[in-house]
């Protein structure tokens, strides 16, 4: 295979040939074509087409013929079949694909790999990680050619990449394009997002297939299709795919570290920026009980600005930094603490993320909050309009709670009200609204009464001896 520099040069020469009408017989154009052909020849034997069989009814559309009475009576439910792609990551039969490709597959021989040479291999599911949309399968063979991994961290925007898969059931289709962007997020509901964006055609059936560079090394796993713009596709970076696949092979599941905090990006909260005196970082919104953070000196309303010397500007930055740590590792958080007016470093020992609790019964939905009727006596009271009841905090009680004089204590919250939705809780002590101290309930009512429609007030709150905040929006 020719060197990368030669390939890039060949591309630009080929483009020049197109411009001046000298494509025919142009050696540079032929060299570029040879480079893509070399990639295909190297990688295609490691790619498999996945035939997925799901039990009857899984994802099946409503049977209108049965409903209205088709000739011969209702049809019997049929097994559902679909296709996706995957690729060999170990000569001992391990195959990587997307979790969604095999979702709902029949547990008994529900996934079969169809190879380029025509062989069909039954597969067993080794492990699935829905958080990253990755799954590892295994064939009972030892002679499969494995792919070579590339370094997704070093791939550059503008680099040529190729995808190989089975779009629209067209097996072993090669598509080519460039890396259009890196670090794409907010495409799904998961926090584990760090997608490579490419303009190489990614279509249904490509999911789970490899995205490779011009050396034939895998830099990503094709996973998402932009259905509004078919020229955009997304791939899971190879670095993440390698980490997840190794854990799935070793133990059938992925172990992740966590600190036990709820956070939000400070840049998304202009009102909070003014109160805290910072414009960048990640605010600790809540610390969960019996977690690593709860056993540390971290406090609600602390602003995390870096992790082990690396700056963090968003909640996703902090999440990724923690995920890159091992279980038991010490995570050093540099935080700004408003009460001190200074920075400090808080070490937190990462622990394993516990499984999500099973919900046995759906929680009862609170009745909708009904604001007071306009012009009524209740509507004239800003506290009532927000669904909030407070009581002045006597100086002697404040002293007993080690709080500054003044403030109000929350005595009642209307379910579904703006105050409840802001995260306020009974027994919270509101000490300030924005930059102004709250001396009593009248002072709080005055601040809230001045809010225009769509505005919000940042309330500083003392909760069980720790400072936090709530953003009350009108």
Q: What angle do CA 78, 81, 84 make, to 5 degrees?
A: 170
Q: Are strands 148-149 and 217-225 parallel, antiparallel or unpaired?
A: parallel
Q: Is 189 a catalytic residue?
A: no
What is the model's pLDDT at position 41? 95
Domain 257-352 in the same topology as domain 1-68+75-253: no
Is residue 302 flagged as an active site residue?
Answer: no
The catalytic position among 85, 129, 133, 245 is: 133
Residue closest to 424 by CA, chosen among 395, 376, 392, 390: 390
Catalytic status, residue 143: no
Q: Which two tokens stand for residue 124?
A: 């067993």
Separation between Cα atoms, residue 425 and residue 447, nearest integer Å: 19
351 closest CA partner among 322, 373, 375: 322
Give the pLDDT score at 154: 93
Length of the chain as a residue count: 474
Half-sphere exposure in the Cβ direction for 55 (13 Å, CA): 4
The runs of H, that is alpha helices, within 335-435 are 382-385, 395-400, 418-421
Contact 201, 220 (CB under 8 A): no
Q: Which CATH class is domain 257-352?
A: mainly beta
Phi-psi sector, 3: left (phi>0), alpha (psi -120 to 50), beta: beta
Cβ neighbors of 443 (< 8 A, separation 6 or more) are: 433, 436, 437
* Cα torsion through 233, 207, 211, 218, rounded to 10: 150
- CA quadruple 4, 8, 9, 11: dihedral sign: positive
How far apart CA 435 and CA 443 sit, in angstroms, is 13
Report the pLDDT value the prediction gives residue 17, as an integer from 0 to 100.
Answer: 52
Tens digit of each residue's pLDDT (9 = 90 or more) over 189-234: 565 678 999 998 888 888 999 999 999 999 999 987 765 555 688 9
The CATH class for the domain spanning 382-473 reads: mainly beta
Hey, what are 161's tokens? 């990449």
Q: What is the pLDDT of residue 62?
A: 43
pLDDT digit string, tens, across residues 360-389: 444 445 566 777 777 676 667 888 888 889
CA distances from 324 to 256, 258, 387 (A): 9, 10, 42
Q: How far apart are CA 306 and CA 334, in angstroms?
A: 5
- The catalytic position among 207, 245, 314, 417 is 207
Q: Which residues of the chain register pLDDT less than 50?
A: 1-13, 16, 18-23, 59-70, 358-364
Contact 253, 247 (CB under 8 A): yes
Pair of tokens at residue 473? 């929006």
Contact 238, 151 (CB under 8 A): yes
For domain 1-68+75-253, say whether CATH 2.40.10.120 is its number.
yes
Q: Where are the domains of the chain?
A: 1-68+75-253, 257-352, 382-473
Q: Rounded CA gap, 390 and 420, in Å?
A: 13
Pick the catalytic residue from 100, 106, 185, 308. 100
Q: How far apart are CA 344 and CA 149, in angstroms?
A: 40
């Amino acid at each position: 295979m020719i060197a990368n520099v030669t390939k890039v040069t060949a591309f630009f020469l080929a483009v020049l040939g197109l411009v001046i009408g000298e494509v025919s017989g142009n050696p540079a154009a032929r060299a570029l074509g040879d480079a893509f052909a070399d990639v295909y020849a190297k990688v295609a034997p490691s790619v498999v087409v996945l035939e997925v069989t799901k039990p009857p009814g899984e994802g099946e559309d409503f049977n209108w013929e049965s409903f209205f009475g088709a000739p011969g009576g209702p049809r019997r439910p049929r097994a559902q079949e679909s296709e996706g792609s995957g690729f060999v990551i170990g000569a001992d039969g391990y195959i990587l694909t997307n979790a969604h490709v095999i979702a709902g597959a029949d547990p008994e021989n529900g996934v079969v790999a169809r190879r380029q040479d025509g062989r069909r291999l039954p597969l067993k599911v080794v492990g699935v990680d829905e958080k990253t949309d990755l799954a590892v399968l295994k064939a009972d063979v030892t002679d499969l050619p494995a792919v070579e991994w590339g370094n997704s961290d070093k791939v550059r925007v503008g680099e040529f990449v190729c995808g190989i898969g089975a779009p629209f059931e067209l097996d072993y289709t090669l598509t080519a394009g460039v890396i259009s962007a890196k670090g794409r997020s907010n495409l799904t509901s998961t926090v584990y997002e760090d997608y490579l964006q490419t303009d190489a055609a990614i279509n249904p059936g490509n999911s789970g297939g490899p995205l490779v560079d011009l050396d034939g090394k895998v830099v990503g796993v094709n996973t998402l299709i932009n259905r509004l713009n078919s020229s955009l596709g997304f791939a899971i970076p190879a670095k993440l795919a390698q980490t997840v696949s190794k854990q799935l092979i070793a133990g059938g599941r992925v172990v992740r570290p966590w600190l036990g905090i709820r956070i939000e990006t400070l840049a998304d909260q202009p009102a909070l920026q003014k109160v805290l005196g910072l414009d960048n970082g990640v605010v600790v919104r809540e610390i969960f009980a019996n977690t690593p953070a709860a056993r540390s000196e971290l406090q609600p309303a602390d602003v995390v600005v870096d992790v082990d010397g690396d700056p963090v500007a968003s909640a996703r930055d902090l999440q990724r930094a923690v995920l890159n740590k091992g279980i038991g590792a010490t995570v050093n958080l540099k935080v700004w603490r408003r009460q001190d007016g200074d920075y400090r470093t808080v070490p937190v020992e990462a622990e394993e993320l516990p499984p999500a609790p099973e919900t046995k019964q759906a929680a009862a939905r609170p009745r909708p909050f009904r604001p007071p009727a306009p012009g009524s006596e209740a509507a004239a009271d800003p506290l009532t309009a927000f669904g909030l009841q407070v009581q002045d905090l006597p100086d002697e009680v404040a002293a007993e709670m080690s709080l500054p004089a003044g403030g109000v204590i929350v005595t009642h919250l209307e379910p579904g009200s703006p105050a409840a939705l802001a995260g306020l809780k009974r027994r919270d002590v509101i000490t300030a609204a924005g930059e102004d101290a709250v001396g009593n309930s009248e002072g709080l009512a005055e601040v809230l009464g001045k809010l225009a429609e769509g505005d919000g007030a940042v309330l500083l709150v003392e909760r069980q001896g720790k400072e936090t905040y709530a953003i009350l929006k009108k």
